[in-house]
Structure 1
Amino acid sequence: MPATPAGMLASRATRARAKAGLSLRALAEKLGYPHTYLSRVERGEQLPSEALAEALDDFYGTDGLFADLLVVTVAAEVPVYGRKVLEEEKRAARIQTFNSSVVPGLLQTEPYTYALFTESMPGKDAEKVALQVAMRSHRRTVLDSATPPLYWAIMDEAALRRPVGGPAIMAEQIRHLLDTIANNSAVRVQVLPFTRGVHPLLGGSLSLLTLRDGLTFAYVESFASGTSVDTPADVLELTTLLDIARSKALDSGESVTLFREYLKEYEDDTDS
């Protein structure tokens, strides 16, 4: 395991279990987590949730070791410009986001994310890509919390048309979108179709995070850079741009219909 915070976390989890004389299945029974999940954590293929990190600390009596390693791992792997977003996502009351070319991050499946990172991170080794996928998976837990933020995503139709990873992965991704929309009342997704023409957010992504105290800040990302914006005038300007894009988007029902059309197309391509 590499000498990185993520590698240390995985190694210490494995060593602690071995020292306790437990198999993965035995530990899973004691903690109440699937043994496959614990296995991925020990192999460094997935980061533990905050709840699992705390459970490991309680079970092994490690005084916050795993919780601290998780914090350090996240901080080490996230670019400086994106750390504020990661810190505030868990405390947000509402997250509004627009993506012009890919499925919004918190709605991505792991195979989709892996295919996306493999193609978009040239020169990165497999371990680095796997860690980035694990990071994205870890972030998605915010939507599964007891009090999730209202997550309102707008995505350009280009994200559906571009076959990231091929037809099978795209079909799985769209099924996940439909399942999330149907079963998570905190999630709303709209598609901005090609037929609505140009809009003010072409070529980038924008997120607006509103915290529970009412404060809103914006995060603009393009390629390998990003900027957090919190001055009221600039946030207002970006909010207006997002509102214009949303006004051109399909409503929720129309978006679901378009998702199903693309799903059928990708399923047909998979079967052919």
Structure 2
Amino acid sequence: MELDSEADAIPASPAEMLAHRAARARAKVGLSLRALAEKVGYPHTYLSRVERGEQLPSVALAEALDDFYGTDGLITELLTVAVAAEGPVYGRKVLEEEKRAARIQTFNSSVVPGLLQVEPYTSALFVESMPGKDAEKVALQVASRMHRRAVLESPAPPLYWAIMDEAALRRPVGNSAIMAEQVRHILDVVQHNSTVRVQVLPFSRGVHPLLGGSLSLLTLRNGLTFAYVESFATGTSVDTPADVLELTTLLDIARSKALDSKESVVLLRRYLEEYENDIDS
């Protein structure tokens, strides 16, 4: 009944509409948050944040709510729209094409590549790197990043080839527990997902042409390739053949300096051990 006073209110954004629909669906079936939590297997505090619009649900939770309420995919669709609406304009092309790519090659010089990030790492990264942003904005950005990870688990995932500078492992984001979880996740993905390859470019290999930024090359299923270059709060999509060729060459040079897959796993395990030791000390 507490929702009746808001019946005539029009949600101002897809995220608000999702929260509104989720709350009304629960009211319709007459369940408390705790009772719903028992039904769908998620913490009632998480469900409460979703209904208040403080956090977007994960894809798995959205699907679970649609299934439980019988809403025919509505909440999942609203999640997709909300995530797309919150992404920066300059990055929307890559977000759309990422879902249809046959191959994604990416290089990151200072952080773990986005599709390999775990939620605590992403949250700590955005909190520390988005000064002045309110908690809701940060939560939406985190949800967007987590939503993107689904591309690696799709029925026909792209070949994902990630190269990261050792700085992404050495510079802690959050605390040692978060870094341990993050490195552990990368190792798990590499070992259990045959479409994912990760290489680390160590400090010992010296400078390379992609210092200070990130580059993604997306090859679509029709063979066309475009590049996406990102630095700080800006990004640029590049599809001119000559420019794509130049950026591909830079990525190839960086890859030639990186450790191979097996050597990279050894280095990742070394960092995992260091972070786990920090937790225990």
2:104 to 91, 95, 109: 95
| Correspondence for 1:80 | 89
CA distance in 1, matches of 2:195, 2:280: 34
SS in 2 for 1:46: coil
| Correspondence for 2:136 | 127
- In the TM superposition, residue 34 of structure 1 has moved relative to its aligned partner by 4.0
Structure 2 counterpart of 1:46, one-letter code: L
Structure 2 counterpart of 1:249, one-letter code: A
CA distance in 2, matches of 1:243, 1:75: 31
| Correspondence for 2:3 | none
1:216 aligns with 2:261: no
CA distance in 2, matches of 1:168, 1:52: 28
1:18 to 14, 27, 38: 27
Conservation of the 8 A alpha-carbon contact between 2:62 and 2:79: no
CA distance in 2, matches of 1:243, 1:193: 16
Structure 1 counterpart of 2:253, one-letter code: I
SS in 2 for 1:190: strand
Question: For 1:132-143, what aligned pairs fall within 5 Å after superposition?
Answer: 132-143=141-152
SS in 2 for 1:164: coil
1:260 to 239, 259, 269: 269
Count the aligned residue pairs. Answer: 269
| Correspondence for 2:194 | 185
Structure 2 counterpart of 1:49, one-letter code: V
Conservation of the 8 A alpha-carbon contact between 1:57 and 1:65: no
Conservation of the 8 A alpha-carbon contact between 1:54 and 1:67: no
CA distance in 2, matches of 1:269, 1:23: 41
Question: For 1:1-272, what aligned pairs fall within 5 Å after superposition?
Answer: 3-22=12-31, 34-36=41-43, 39=47, 41-42=50-51, 44=53, 45-49=55-59, 52=62, 56=66, 60-61=70-71, 65-66=74-75, 68-272=77-281
Deviations 1:65-107 (A, max 9, x none): 5455334312321111000011111111111000000000010
Conservation of the 8 A alpha-carbon contact between 2:115 and 2:149: yes
SS in 2 for 1:262: helix
Conservation of the 8 A alpha-carbon contact between 1:47 and 1:138: no
Conservation of the 8 A alpha-carbon contact between 1:54 and 1:66: no
- In the TM superposition, residue 134 of structure 1 has moved relative to its aligned partner by 1.0
Closer, same or farther in 2 for the Cα pair 1:260/1:71, shift >3 Å?
closer
Conservation of the 8 A alpha-carbon contact between 1:204 and 1:220: yes
- In the TM superposition, residue 5 of structure 1 has moved relative to its aligned partner by 2.2
Structure 2 counterpart of 1:178, one-letter code: L
SS in 1 for 2:91: helix
Closer, same or farther in 2 for the Cα pair 1:232/1:55, shift >3 Å?
farther
CA distance in 1, matches of 2:60, 2:93: 18
Unaligned runs of 5+ in 1: none
Give the superposed CA RMSD.
2.7
SS in 1 for 2:275: helix
- In the TM superposition, residue 136 of structure 1 has moved relative to its aligned partner by 0.8
Structure 2 counterpart of 1:100, one-letter code: S
TM-score of the two chains, using structure 2 as the length reference:
0.86
Structure 1 counterpart of 2:252, one-letter code: D
CA distance in 2, matches of 1:157, 1:80: 30
Structure 1 vs Structure 2: percent identity of aligned residues?
76
Closer, same or farther in 2 for the Cα pair 1:110/1:17, shift >3 Å?
same
Unaligned runs of 5+ in 2: 1-5
